[in-house]
Amino acid sequence: MRQRSKGTGCAIARCAIAGLLALAAFAPPARAQPQIAALEHDGARYGSVVFERYVESSQIHTRETARLGISALNAREWRSYEQRSSESSDGRPLTLSRRSQSGPATLQASARIVGSEIRIERREGAQARRAVLPVPADLLVDAGLVRRIAAQPTDTAWAFVYSEIDLSAARVVRVRLSSAGRHDGERLELLRETGDGDETVRRRLYWSTTQQRLLPSWDLAGARFDSHACGQDCDDAGTRYYDLMAGLTLASPYRIPAASRRKTLRYVFESADGIAPELPATGEQSVRQRGARSVVTVCPECGDEAAPDAGTVARYRDANAWVQSDHPTLRALARSARANGSIDGRMHRLVRFVQKHMDGGRQSLGYASALQAATTRSGDCTEFAVLLAALARASHIPARVVGGLVYSSQFTGKGNVFSPHAWVQVWNGSRWVSFDAGMGEFDSTHIVLAIGDGSVDDYAGLLARVRALRLVDAGQIAATAP
């Protein structure tokens, strides 16, 4: 699930303001009037963004805050973030910080540039993690990025490359920013690309020609929210709450009895673009394309996925920003589960442990990391999955987080439908095997759409794929069928 067009669900673009002269020449006066933009989806407003830039002690400071109204299963909340940065008068990055609130998850992260080092601290509740990275020569945060964009033409193609700090993953990423010269008089369309080859992540951005800054956007539950500049009288009056589950369930052509869910099941999918959906093969899932349709067969041993190489196995054994299996809290939880014996037996014990530990309620809003899930003890299928993956990796079992569909009303409240879901697959030395702490057990109604490392970006990409799918047929077949 690495090739995708998305944001971070939470990967908000760095805001900017124009300037063709030296940075000090166009820096606004202290506490300049805030700039406001409305966050919209399909013409409806669901939130707002407030941006400020000011000069203090010969430094340029920026502050951006945003909030988005969301709802799911009769629950409502404001999802929010605040991002700050500071730079010297000549555009040298000094600090960057971000605080976000999403359901049960609160994340605070900051970076300070000290000499040739970027010193990063990420805090989740009372837990702090630190990292030190080298400072690249082309590092930009806000005002420096502004100067680069503002120096480009608006009506012809251009591109440049720079480095930025990814606070959520505690790393530096290379970014290619480009324009084809498309604009509507108020916004110039840009393309942001990170990574390379199969790992490339592409995202469409907009530059406000009226406010002279990048306009933030948000990808959430497979839906994109773009911001539009508005005046000082632009407030949250009339703002709606976006239904996270809207368009995220697929009606089943037939009711699937409980007894059939343990048999071999076959599904036929179509895509909204008329091209056969590209779905992954796993140890339990085979995929065949027939014209504009994809035929998926699922059972415990139906898959034909190739064995992973040593590098892939190592990747799914290591910790990352969302599956922090090396954290003392999660390592202690893994030990307390007392999971011994075969991989299969250890995983079944870890599933039961996660189900018992997560006693704080099933929340459908937000996306938390494994550490946050372990601390709050609440969440939905995604929190159950990242926590199970973290405990498996802490027990030296390679584990990946997969996302797809499952025949259940547990997380959506609807019947006879396939709903978005996340669970875990572990490498047992021969193949990848599924374990589901959210549902309790794996069955043949688990259809994998994407394979990832547990990040929020992976799940956002999954939800976008669900919106484009249509299930046209489903049924039980003989176990010996090819």
pLDDT tens digits, 266-298: 999 999 888 999 999 999 999 999 999 999 999
Over the chain, what is the mean pLDDT? 84
Between CA 56 and CA 457 the distance in angstroms is: 35
Phi, psi of 22 (to 5 degrees): -60, 150
To the nearest 5 percent, what fractions of the chain are helix, strand and coil? 15, 40, 40
| pLDDT-based confidence at residue 220 (cuts at 50, 70, 90) | confident
For residue 214, give the nearest of 267, 143, 283 by alpha carbon. Answer: 143
Q: Compute how many other C-beta atoms are within 10 angstroms of the C-beta atom of residue 404.
A: 25
Crossing angle of helices 381-394 and 328-336, in 10° steps, is: 80
Is residue 49 within 8 A of residue 216, CB to CB? The reply is: yes
Nearest CA-CA partner of 444 in 479, 394, 416:
479
CB-count burial class (<10 Å; 0-12, 13-18, 19+) for 44: exposed
Residues of the chain with CATH 3.10.620.30: 250-476
Q: What are phi and psi of 460, to 5 degrees?
A: -65, -40
Taking only the tens place, the pLDDT of each residue in 353-411 is: 999 999 876 665 667 889 989 988 988 888 999 999 999 999 999 999 999 999 987 76
Name the residue with higher pLDDT: 14 or 70: 70
What separation, in Å, do the N-terminal and C-terminal C-alpha atoms of the chain show? 26
Quick one: which H or E segment has residue 69? strand 59-72
CATH number for the domain whose boundaries are 250-476:
3.10.620.30
pLDDT at 57: 85
Burial of 377 from C-beta contacts in 10 A (0-12 / 13-18 / 19+): middle
Instruction: Provide the pLDDT confidence category of residue 120 given band limits of 50, 70 and 90.
Output: very high
Give the model confidence (pLDDT) of 295-324 as tens digits: 999 999 899 899 999 999 999 999 988 899
H-type helices in 118-195, by residue range?
143-150
Check the CA dihedral 301-304-309-311 and report its sign: negative
